């Protein structure tokens, strides 16, 4: 990917058409009921009967991948907090920046740490950080772009029938209310095809739109100018000199528009919209990471959006957005009461038999898919710790790309919930890390291959920092490569495997071929130094480290075989794999060990459960084929408990689903919603961190469909709380799309759409007897049965269905 000025190939800017809005008003000073928007699906709407008071917990997110907006929906003054994904401090031009590579040679440093671990079995994190780490000069952080305000003239603090909503079915935010017999409706949507966010403003009487547009840039040194109804904010970040520009164009029908020195005033218009576009001079090209001045691109985006009609933009947006969102549907027996979403969440218990709880769970699932579409589209950077949304110039953990679970969790729902396209920014980001990662491999390890460590940024930071318990994680490249191979497993796209996935995987394997260490205890190959995030001492062969390398080697060997390339290398990799410690040991109290030595404590409730990587997202452990290891994983997971941060609970949903315990997976979903979810349904670590949203969405999919072991397992972990339900459009590995309906937790109908030809094995108790029919030819399919599994030869483009005796009446 080559991105210039926040633009990939064409335009990496985002335009926003924004409405006239209003100010925060306490619930007690408004009267009249909030009415739902006509034509909306209430099961897919977050709604509130008051404006947002808090950015983190109340405001509603919009985005098209490159640009993010948090909509407050005020009455007297509207606030939209804005982000542009490439607006980052740090990187080239910043004093001392080295991409995290050592600033001076350290002969023998790595070998010395390995020798001490060989001798003593462990080494304190502070000592390892002193030997191998360094302060993160020039790392930078994701930045706040600006606040845009619309001061509404003549609007009182109290209005009737106020309603603020986010319609997930249309990717649209709305604000509506009435005053003095006039009904006002505002509509916001993010258009990816046109790189715009559009807001329509309507009123039931003409001449009622009056407001002042102003902006408060969040970056020091920004200048603001106004001409011809266009407000331009421009500046350069201190330190790295990254140029940023934002343009706001006011367009009116009727009334007057007047330019001020730093604002635009509209009086008595029939309707109005504002077009906002922002971009930077960032480009994802190592080592300079600079493109062209964004001015021309921003101007082109504003001119084009301002010239288009909102109706045309809306039609394009719906066609694009619904092409993604509408692929999947989920019904777990919910029914939404007519209460605001914040009240719905506050009343949530997770108990069985509560239709409103089931409705919130389905809404939360859909919200996760919405967030991924809004924060990760082709041509933008991947979703970071906060997706696209950040209101601080010093955000928690820099709102960066943590690679010891967080960025990976962001993309767990991409394949399973049928949003493969949203993973493109992650794949491009991985590809962009390879060039700086080669330099890090040479400068720190003295070897070939590519590597990256615990956290990264858009500027190719692949080296180390010095936070003792969170700086060393060379396994990160292997985990990132898992996403490349999983994309192939889900899509069967051999072109992608050959051109993008396999080259990165091959280089990552070659790094480990040069860097695995012989453990003097048993002669096995191990990662050393090795650290289980983010606790304990450094050691050799921590379980997660070994499991990731096992996964990388296994995937790369399979990819080489599929492509028919590199047979001599493949043979070396197979030898390497046979000598590798797989990181799977059962300890003294029946647990899956977190370290190669039996150091685990049954009272440890740390948020990370990293040694269960082999269970999820890996595929070394299965309750059906490795029951002893699955039992040990269950012991470890039970000991860790059901608490933790938001993302930790989300991972535990996936763990319990993989253990085929739907009730415990649902318990973790309940814990997530009760104590780690804010009023606007954002996940909270705390603070807000978006990975929990994505991890929980993926976990719900895992409860309903799994395919990691080569068998498509339909309804593997349906909880008692979901006795009846259905899903449509979930994806399984093998390029298979599935629908299913169930009653009393038993499948009644399973429908499969084959995207590729080949043998498929599908598992569900119904399949022990139910015939499989090819809906394309209306013929019964010849299958090989083995218990509750059937294997058959699928044809691309054909749909297949099995129906139970009871299911025939649905």
- Residue 740 main-chain phi, psi, to 5 deg: -150, 150
Q: Return phi, psi of residue 409, to 5°.
A: -60, -35
> Strand runs (DSSP E) across 366-407, as ranges?
401-402
Q: Which DSSP state fits 658?
A: H
pLDDT above 90 for 433: yes
Residue 338 token pair: 């007519």
Q: Angle, nearest 10°, between helix axes 543-563 and 502-515?
A: 130
Q: How far apart are CA 549 and CA 551, in angstroms?
A: 5
Nearest Cα neighbor of 50 from 197, 192, 159 is 159
| Average pLDDT over every residue of 360-367 | 98
Q: Which residue has the tokens 């000199």?
A: 241
Helix (H) or strand (E) holding 314: helix 310-325
- Cα separation, 712 vs 351, in Å, equals 29
Lowest mean pLDDT among 81-90, 149-158, 615-624: 149-158
* Residue 154 pLDDT class (50, 70, 90 cuts): confident
Query: If DSSP codes are grouped into helix, strand and coil, which group holds residue 99?
Result: coil
Return the closest-CA partner of residue 26 out of 162, 147, 188, 149: 162
For residue 283, with 0-12 CB atoms within 10 Å meaning exposed, 13-18 middle and 19 or more buried, which class applies? buried
Region 348-353: mean pLDDT is 96
Question: Token match 């164009």: residue?
Answer: 249
Count how many Cα atoms sit within 13 Å of the Cα of residue 397 in the half-sphere of its side chain.
Answer: 22
Quickly count: other Cβ atoms within 10 Å of residue 274's Cβ: 27
For 624, other C-beta atoms within 10 Å of its C-beta total 12
Taking Cα atoms as reference points, which of 533, 660, 536 lies closest to residue 609? 533
**Predicted pLDDT at 32:** 54
How confident is the model at residue 65, as a pLDDT?
97
Q: How far is CA 95 from CA 139, 238, 803, in A?
A: 10, 11, 66
pLDDT of residue 34: 64
CA 803 to each of CA 593, 702, 746, 748, 810: distance values in angstroms, whole numbers, following the listed order: 43, 22, 11, 6, 10
Contacts of 534 (CB under 8 A, 6+ apart): 404, 469, 470, 608
User: Tens digit of pLDDT for each residue in 569-617?
Assistant: 999 999 999 999 999 999 999 999 999 999 999 999 989 999 999 999 9
pLDDT band, residue 351 (cuts 50/70/90)? very high
Strand-pair category, 779-780 with 772-774 = antiparallel
Region for 137 from its dihedrals, namely left if φ exceeds 0, alpha if ψ lies in -120 to 50, beta otherwise: beta
Reduced to 3 states (helix: H, G, I; strand: E, B; else coil), residue 69 is strand
Query: Residues near 253 by Cβ (< 8 Å), separated by ≥ 6?
Result: 269, 270, 271, 272
Q: What single string gives the DSSP state of each residue in 593-608?
A: PSSSSS---TT---S-
User: What does 709-752 look like in DSSP terms, one character per residue?
Assistant: TSSEEESTT--TT-SSEEEEEEEETTTEEEEEEEETTEEEEEEE
How many CB atoms are closer than 10 A to CB 749?
20
pLDDT tens digits along 95-121: 999 999 999 999 999 999 999 999 999
Is residue 5 over pLDDT 80? no
**Two structure tokens written together for 587:** 């300890």
To the nearest 10°, report the CA torsion of 303, 309, 315, 316.
Answer: -10
Residues 690 and 368 sit within 8 Å (Cβ to Cβ): no
Per-residue H/E/C for 146-205 = EEEEEEECCCCCCCEEEEEEEECCCCEEEEEEEECCEEEEEEEEEECCCCEEEEEEEECC
Residue 369 pLDDT > 90 = yes
435-463: b (≥16 Cβ within 10 Å) or e:
ebbbbbbebbeeeebbbbbbbbbbbbbbb
Q: Is 784 exposed, middle or buried (0-12, 13-18, 19+ CB in 10 A)?
A: exposed
d(CA 528, CA 465): 18
**Considering the chain, what percentage of its residues have pLDDT values greater than 70?**
95
Please compute the mean of the pLDDT values over residues 792-803 and round it to a whole number. Answer: 98
Q: Radius of gyration (Cα) for the chain, nearest Å?
A: 27
Q: What is the DSSP letter of 806?
A: T
If one counts every other C-beta atom within 10 angstroms of the C-beta of residue 36, the result is 17
Q: What's the token pair of residue 408?
A: 């990976």
pLDDT at 808: 55
Structure tokens at 392: 């601080």
Which tokens is 284 given? 């994802």
Residue 19 has pLDDT above 50, yes or no: no
Q: What are phi and psi of 657, to 5 degrees?
A: -65, -45
Distances from the Cα of 430 to the Cα of 142, 222, 487, 686, 733, angstroms: 19, 33, 13, 28, 22
Contact 218, 246 (CB under 8 A): no
DSSP 384: B
Beta-sheet strands, E only, within 513-573: 517-518, 525-526
CA distance 446 to 267: 67
3-state secondary structure of 409: helix
Assigned token pair, 654: 């996936």
Of 698, 718, 708, 726, nearest to 765 (Cα)? 718
- Residues 67 and 14 sit within 8 Å (Cβ to Cβ): yes
Instruction: Average the pLDDT over 173-190 and give the result.
Output: 91
- Residue 80 and residue 71: Cα distance in Å, rounded? 5
- pTM score, whole prediction: 0.95
By the 8 A CB rule, do 258 and 249 touch? no
Distance of CA 182 to the CA centre of its chain: 41
CA 363 to chain centre: 17
Token pair listed for 681: 């349904």
Reported as a pLDDT band with limits 50, 70 and 90, residue 196 is confident
- In tens, the pLDDT along 224-241 reads 999 999 999 999 999 999
33: confidence class by pLDDT, cuts 50, 70, 90: low
Tens digit of each residue's pLDDT (9 = 90 or more) over 312-338: 989 999 999 999 999 999 999 999 999
Q: Is the pLDDT of residue 28 over 80?
A: no
Which helix (H) or strand (E) element contains residue 348? none
Return the half-sphere exposure (C-beta side, CA atoms, 13 A cut-off) of residue 657. 30
The secondary element (H helix, E strand) that includes residue 569 is helix 567-579
Look up residue 809 and give its DSSP letter: G
Q: Answer whether 715's CB lies under 8 Å from 412's CB.
A: no
Which pLDDT score is estimated for 197?
81
């Amino acid at each position: 990917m080559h991105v210039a000025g926040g633009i990939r190939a064409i335009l990496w800017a985002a335009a926003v058409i924004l409405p006239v809005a209003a100010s925060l008003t306490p619930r007690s000073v408004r009267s009249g009921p909030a009415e739902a928007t006509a034509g909306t699906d209430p099961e897919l709407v977050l709604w509130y009967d008051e404006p947002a008071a808090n950015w983190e917990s109340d405001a509603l997110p919009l985005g098209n991948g490159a640009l993010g907006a948090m909509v407050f929906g005020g009455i007297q003054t509207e606030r939209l907090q804005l982000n542009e994904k490439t607006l980052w401090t740090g990187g080239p031009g910043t004093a001392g920046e080295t991409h995290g590579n050592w600033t001076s040679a350290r002969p023998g440093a790595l070998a010395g740490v390995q020798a001490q671990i060989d001798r003593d079995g462990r080494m304190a994190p502070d000592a390892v950080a002193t030997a191998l780490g360094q302060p993160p000069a020039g790392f930078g952080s994701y930045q706040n772009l600006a606040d845009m305000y619309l001061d509404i003239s003549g609007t009182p603090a109290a209005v009737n029938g106020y309603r603020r909503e986010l319609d997930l079915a249309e990717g649209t935010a709305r604000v509506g209310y009435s005053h003095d017999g006039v009904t006002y409706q505002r509509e916001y949507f993010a258009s990816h095809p046109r790189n715009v966010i559009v807001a329509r403003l309507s009123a039931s009487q003409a001449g009622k739109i009056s407001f002042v547009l102003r902006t408060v840039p969040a970056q020091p040194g920004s200048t603001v100018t106004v001409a011809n109804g266009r407000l331009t904010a421009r500046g350069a970040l201190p330190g790295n000199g990254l140029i940023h520009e934002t343009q706001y164009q006011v367009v009116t029908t009727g009334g007057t528009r007047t330019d001020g020195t730093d604002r635009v005033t509209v009086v008595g218009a029939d309707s109005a919209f504002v077009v906002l576009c922002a971009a930077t001079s960032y480009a994802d090209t190592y080592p300079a990471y600079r493109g062209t001045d964004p001015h021309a691109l921003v101007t082109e985006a504003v001119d084009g959006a301002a010239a288009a009609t909102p109706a045309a933009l809306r039609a394009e947006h719906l066609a694009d957005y619904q092409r993604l969102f509408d692929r999947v549907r989920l019904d777990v027996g919910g029914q939404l009461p007519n209460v605001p979403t914040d009240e719905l969440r506050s009343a949530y218990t997770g108990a069985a038999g509560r239709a409103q709880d089931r409705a919130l769970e389905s809404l939360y699932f859909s919200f996760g898919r919405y967030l991924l579409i809004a924060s990760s589209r082709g041509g933008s950077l991947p979703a970071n710790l906060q997706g696209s949304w950040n209101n601080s110039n010093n955000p928690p953990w820099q709102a960066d790309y943590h690679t010891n679970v967080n960025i990976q969790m962001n993309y767990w729902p991409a394949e399973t919930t049928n949003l493969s396209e949203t993973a493109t920014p992650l794949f491009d980001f991985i590809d962009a890390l390879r060039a700086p990662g080669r330099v890090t491999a040479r400068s720190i390890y003295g070897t070939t291959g590519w590597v990256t460590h615990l956290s990264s940024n858009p500027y190719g930071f692949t080296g180390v920092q010095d936070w003792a318990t969170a700086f060393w994680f060379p396994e990160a490249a292997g985990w990132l490569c898992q996403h490349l191979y999983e994309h192939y497993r889900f899509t069967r796209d051999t072109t992608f495997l050959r051109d993008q996935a396999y080259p990165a995987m091959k280089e990552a394997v070659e790094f480990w071929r040069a860097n695995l260490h012989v453990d003097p205890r048993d002669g096995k190959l191990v990662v050393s130094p090795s650290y289980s995030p983010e606790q304990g001492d450094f050691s050799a062969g921590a379980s997660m480290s070994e499991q990731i390398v096992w996964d990388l080697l296994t995937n790369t060997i399979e990819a080489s075989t599929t492509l028919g390339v590199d047979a001599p290398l493949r043979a070396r990799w197979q030898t390497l794999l046979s000598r590798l410690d797989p990181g799977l040991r059962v300890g003294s109290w029946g647990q899956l060990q977190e370290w190669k030595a039996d150091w685990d404590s049954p009272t440890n409730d740390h948020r990370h459960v990293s040694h269960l990587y082999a269970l999820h997202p890996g595929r070394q452990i299965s309750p059906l084929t490795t029951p002893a290891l699955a039992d040990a994983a269950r012991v470890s997971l039970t000991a860790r408990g059901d608490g933790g941060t938001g993302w930790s609970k989300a991972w535990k949903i996936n763990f319990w689903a993989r253990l085929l315990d739907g009730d415990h997976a649902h318990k973790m979903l309940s814990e997530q919603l009760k104590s780690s979810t804010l009023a606007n349904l954002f996940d909270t670590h705390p603070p807000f961190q978006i990975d929990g949203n994505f991890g929980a969405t993926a976990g719900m999919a895992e409860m309903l469909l799994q395919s990691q072991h080569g068998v498509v397992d339909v309804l593997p972990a349906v909880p008692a709380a979901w006795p009846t339900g259905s899903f449509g459009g979930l994806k399984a590995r093998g390029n298979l799309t599935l629908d299913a309906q169930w009653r009393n937790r038993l499948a009644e109908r399973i429908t499969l759409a084959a995207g590729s030809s080949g043998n498929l094995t599908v598992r569900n108790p119904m399949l022990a007897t139910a015939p499989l029919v090819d809906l394309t030819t209306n013929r019964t399919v010849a299958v090989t049965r083995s218990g509750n599994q059937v294997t058959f030869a699928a044809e691309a483009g054909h749909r297949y269905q099995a129906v139970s005796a009871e299911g025939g009446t649905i």
